[in-house]
């Protein structure tokens, strides 16, 4: 999503030093994203982008929320998480939800910045996977007017409307507007 900017993108597995393991112990996406970005920036001396995201289901009072990956157990697979979520919502009259993402940009010697994105939708009654396959809760999250899940969208379609795509678009605009 950052292709075309005057940047050299490096993933953590391309770095020479050992892995950085920043925690996700905060109660908010923003704080988790910032903690991860600042940990990598401190360890590498490089500008770093990191995110935190989650699914908030209205019928569950906003759960699984910031603990989306761990809500149904630390070792639960995406398929297990989706099955357990659907079981919780089996008789729920309301299935509305939203995906939330915060992307943080940390640079040594510069205050860390954060950019957010959210998309509303609803939880399907069964997982649906299509051309995009998706990951996490994508197979059960219906978004947009055509009734498809995020997992039924192409990567390009998903990036244009997803919570992460919206947050990264704000980051991209910010980076593009910076003087070089």
**HEC string of 52-86?**
EEEEEEHHHCCCEECCCCCCCCCCCCHHHHHHHHH
Question: Do the Cβ atoms of 149 and 140 come closer than 8 Å?
Answer: yes
Long-range contacts of 173-178 (CB under 8 A, 24+ apart): 174/105, 174/113, 174/115, 175/2, 175/5, 175/7, 175/105, 176/5
CA atoms of 24 and 32, how far apart (whole Å): 5
Indicate left, alpha or beta for 145 from its phi (over 0: left) and psi (-120 to 50: alpha).
Answer: alpha
52 classed as catalytic: yes
**Marked catalytic residue, from 6, 51, 52, 159:** 52
Q: Are 59 and 94 in contact (CB under 8 A)?
A: yes
Distance separating alpha carbons of residues 36 and 80, to the nearest angstrom: 26
Active site residues: 52
């Amino acid at each position: 999503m950052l292709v075309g900017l005057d940047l050299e993108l490096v993933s953590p597995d391309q770095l020479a030093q050992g892995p950085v393991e920043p925690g996700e112990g905060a109660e908010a996406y923003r704080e988790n994203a910032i903690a991860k970005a600042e940990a990598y920036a401190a360890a590498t001396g490089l500008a770093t982008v990191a995110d935190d995201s989650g699914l908030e289901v209205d019928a569950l009072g906003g759960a699984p929320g910031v603990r989306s990956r761990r809500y149904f157990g630390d070792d639960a697979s995406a398929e297990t998480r989706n099955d357990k979520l659907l079981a919780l919502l089996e008789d729920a009259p309301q299935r509305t939800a939203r995906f939330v993402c915060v992307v943080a940009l940390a640079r040594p010697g510069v205050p860390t910045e954060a950019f957010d994105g959210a998309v509303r939708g609803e939880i399907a009654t069964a997982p649906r996977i299509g051309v995009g396959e998706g990951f996490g809760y994508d197979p059960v999250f219906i978004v947009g007017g055509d009734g498809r899940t995020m997992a039924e969208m192409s990567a390009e379609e998903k990036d244009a409307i997803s919570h992460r795509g919206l947050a990264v678009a704000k980051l991209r605009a910010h980076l593009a507007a910076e003087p070089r």
